Structure 1
Amino acid sequence: MIRSMTSFASGKGALGAYSWSCELRSVNAKGLDLRLRVPDWLDGLEAALRADLGKALNRGNVTLSLKVSRDEGGGTLALNPAAMAAVLDALTALEAEALERGLTLAPTSAGELLAQRGMMEAASAEDDTAPLSAAIRAAFPALLEAFLQMRRDEGAALAEVLAGQISRIEELTATAATLAEARKEAMAETLKSNLARVLDSPAGADPDRVAQELALIAVKADVTEELDRLGAHVRAAQDLLAKGGPVGRKLDFLMQEFNREANTLCSKSQSSDLTAVGLELKAVIDQMREQVQNVE
């Protein structure tokens, strides 16, 4: 089975106060280009994910984006020393000023002090990120499998389209062979007529020179080799589709060969019908080349 280079998958997970979301997407490319955006404070995670992707993929521009967040609301609280000192200093100054003016203030409770803004803050102790990295790695195979499945599904659709285009090329090649065979008689009659006109002219002609020119014309008009090579390319393309796997580069090379033979067929045709078939061949080959660009 062939695989497409176009795919997308996403996943989410959580561990304790942490949650993450991950997106994996790819488009076509000549080789394998991995671009990972992973938080650098998760030591070793990017290298591990890159290795997993490298083992599973052969071609494509692949982007992995991992976002990790922490729910601070569920953490422990601690006194903010700076805020506490500021509140106590302000309270001391207030009591001193009241006493100087002969005023008596009610005692301030600890609860009232703690209720002051900024007195309490979330604890910021350093966490061990190894369990989080391990949890993300454990969840990654499922995401990667969903990503690969989309590649396989897209590849199956691509294979169906390519098989139809190869069959059309095979049909057009057979039509071209029939037209080329039918053209031989007409070309022979034309050559005979032209040769007779030259030989009957008063100036005459050099028989050896005439023979050379006729041989050259025959070679230039013969499309047998082009048709044979087109047939061979059709069989090679069918074999690659049946084989499956990462055959995109080989199919791309075949497209160049298909196009070369179709161009030569058109230049040698010397027949409007054969030229029309050659042009249709070129159109189908161009359409097929566009599809091949997405094959891994």
Structure 2
Amino acid sequence: MITSMTAFAVNEAEIGNLKVTCELRSVNHRYLDVSLKLSDRLRFAETDIRSIISAKISRGKIECALSYKKQGKQQSFTVDADAVAALITATKLIEQQMYSSMSFSALEILAFPGIQQESELDKTDISAGINTLVTATVKQLLETRAREGRQLKAIIEERCVKIQGFIESANQRMPEVLTALRKKLTDKITELVAQPDFDRLEQELVYLTQKLDITEELDRLDTHVNEVLRVLDQSDPVGRRLDFLMQELNREANTLGSKSVDKDMTQISIELKVLIEQIREQVQNIE
């Protein structure tokens, strides 16, 4: 099953007296890269969160943001008396070096970092709740990635069918190209040489035909396209495999263009490269 690497999911849950929100964002990346945005009070859950994500996702840049709000009545807090005393002492020292006195209100002191001490969280219960929340959000993210993956698969299959059509057109066109080339060279030599050596001409035409033969390139193109269609039905992550196949398809299309001596064949080569590039852009988002 094709899975996209681009998705977003958000979920929230009530854990004790907290309302915790989990947001997951996923974009394409060569490997799995998990980035966490946690408040200091939830930092203890980092290891479990990384394990949950990496167990379900194998590729992509994942951003996980966890935030919380307190619920119910305002929770009590304690004041760090030593920090208050140190702050007041420092203020007095500063005032002694100023022309006018400066004072803080009680609220301003309370707003100073480190003065208010929140009560400790019950890490055991909260950790279990966070794990459940993250697991549910990851599931939601995977469902979104799967939906977009099905759309990507349909797009790639459509392009592959078009590529097969151009391969068939090239196969049908090639005998006509070689016949026209033979006639053109024969006529040209006949015009230039009074008594042309047709045996030598035939040898040169055979050599030229072999040099311009694109049968192998067309066969490899067809093989690679069939492999793409086969890989699309696999259940494992296939993004890297598809990326490799796009490189091989592009290589054969370039060779096809370099051997072309006919405007129709040149156009077929161009159309193939356009379709391959369109598929490659979609493959960049596949896990």
TM-score (norm 1): 0.77
Equivalent residue letter for 2:268:
V
Change (3 A) 1:177 1:126: same
**Distance in 2, Cα, partners of 1:7 & 1:283:** 27
Contact 1:9 1:24 in 2 (8 A): yes
Is 1:231 paired with 2:222?
yes
**Distance in 1, Cα, partners of 2:210 & 2:51:** 56
Q: Deviations over 1:172-228 (max 9, x none)?
A: 110111111221211222333345456646xx88x87x6775454223311111111
Listed as ranges, the matches of 1:188-203 within 5 Å are 188-196=182-190, 200=194
Which residue number in structure 2 is paired with residue 131 of structure 1?
A: 125
Change (3 A) 1:181 1:288: same
SS in 2 for 1:159: helix
Aligned residues: 256
Query: Pick from 152, 174, 178: which aligns with 2:172?
Result: 178
Which residue number in structure 2 is paired with residue 218 of structure 1?
A: 209
Which residue number in structure 1 is paired with residue 50 of structure 2?
A: 50
Equivalent residue letter for 1:159:
K
Change (3 A) 1:16 1:123: farther
**How far is 1:270 from its partner?**
0.5
SS in 2 for 1:20: strand
Q: Deviations over 1:48-82 (max 9, x none)?
A: 11011111111111100001233484324789999
Listed as ranges, the matches of 1:136-155 within 5 Å are 136-155=130-149
SS in 2 for 1:41: helix
Query: Pick from 247, 253, 262: which aligns with 1:262?
Result: 253
Contact 2:246 2:276 in 1 (8 A): yes
Change (3 A) 1:170 1:35: same
Structure 1 runs (4+) deviating above 6 angstroms are: 77-82
Is 1:282 paired with 2:273?
yes
Equivalent residue letter for 2:224:
H
Q: Alpha carbon RMSD of aligned pairs, Å?
A: 2.8
Which stretch has the larger CA shift, 142-151 or 38-47?
38-47
**Distance in 2, Cα, partners of 1:273 & 1:147:** 46
Change (3 A) 1:78 1:137: closer
Which residue number in structure 2 is paired with residue 163 of structure 1?
A: 157
Contact 1:17 1:74 in 2 (8 A): no
Contact 2:7 2:145 in 1 (8 A): yes
- Which structure 2 segments of 5+ residues have no match? 83-105, 108-115
**How far is 1:258 from its partner?**
1.0
Equivalent residue letter for 2:263:
S
**Distance in 1, Cα, partners of 2:78 & 2:184:** 103
Change (3 A) 1:262 1:125: closer
TM-score (norm 2): 0.79
- Which structure 1 segments of 5+ residues have no match? 83-116
Q: Deviations over 1:228-284 (max 9, x none)?
A: 111111111110112243111111111111111111111111011111111111111
Greater C-alpha radius of gyration:
1
**Distance in 1, Cα, partners of 2:230 & 2:72:** 58
**How far is 1:131 from its partner?**
1.2
